[in-house]
């Protein structure tokens, strides 16, 4: 496992994924500590018809509070916010959530790029973003913004991804702080502010 030395505290963790990422999330969440000192935001490509499936699955696997994100809701530590299906999710300067129904980005709504870019502008060097398995390049431009604002970029090892295209594009186009196998991600997250 690659290691990175960075003492900047994490103020927010954002995770993006598409096809094949559910398996990784179901591996990560049961192993997360219960006193995570920052909010976790998930942006996962999914059909609107399966809207509550992801929320219900994660609720059953973690003691952290998990819910669909709501318009104007504020991000709070120790809580998991899931971008609603078919809406872009942006983060405002006051760390509240804004939902948007504008056109798709990378054939996706929610778009990982849109969320990562808005989060980078708000949290700057205190942001950590993880990009997981997927079959398009959504997330690459968002991770570039995270790097530009001195946040941390974490990418799933494409060789461990069910759909390697998304993390592969990220590794090729963005300078990651660390590339992790899926089984190392929970430890990485648990130790972010230690």
Which residues are known to be catalytic?
Answer: 18, 45, 138
CA 59 to CA 26: how far, in whole Å? 10
CA 43 to CA 149: how far, in whole Å? 20
Tokens coding 6: 């960075």
Nearest to 4 by CA among 191, 179, 177, 192: 177
DSSP string, 118-165: HHHHHHGGGEEEEE---SS-TTHHHHHHHHHTT-EEEEE-GGG-SS-H
């Amino acid at each position: 496992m690659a290691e990175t030395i960075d003492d900047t505290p994490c103020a927010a963790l954002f995770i993006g994924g598409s096809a094949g990422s559910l398996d990784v999330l179901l591996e990560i969440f049961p192993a997360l500590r219960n006193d995570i000192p920052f909010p976790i935001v998930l942006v996962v490509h999914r059909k609107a018809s399966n809207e509550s499936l992801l929320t219900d699955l994660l609720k059953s696997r973690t003691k952290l509070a998990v819910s669909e994100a709501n318009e104007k809701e504020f991000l709070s530590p120790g809580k998991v916010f899931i971008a609603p299906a078919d809406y872009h999710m942006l983060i405002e300067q006051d760390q509240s959530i804004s939902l948007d129904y504008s056109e798709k980005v990378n054939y996706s709504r929610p778009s990982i790029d849109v969320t990562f870019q808005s989060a980078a502008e708000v949290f700057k060097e205190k942001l950590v973003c993880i990009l997981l398995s997927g079959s398009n390049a959504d997330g690459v431009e968002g991770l570039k913004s995270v790097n530009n604002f001195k946040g941390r970029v974490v990418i799933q090892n494409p060789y461990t991804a069910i759909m390697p295209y998304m993390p592969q594009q990220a590794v090729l186009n963005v300078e990651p702080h660390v590339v992790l196998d899926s089984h190392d991600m929970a430890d990485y997250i648990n130790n972010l502010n230690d």
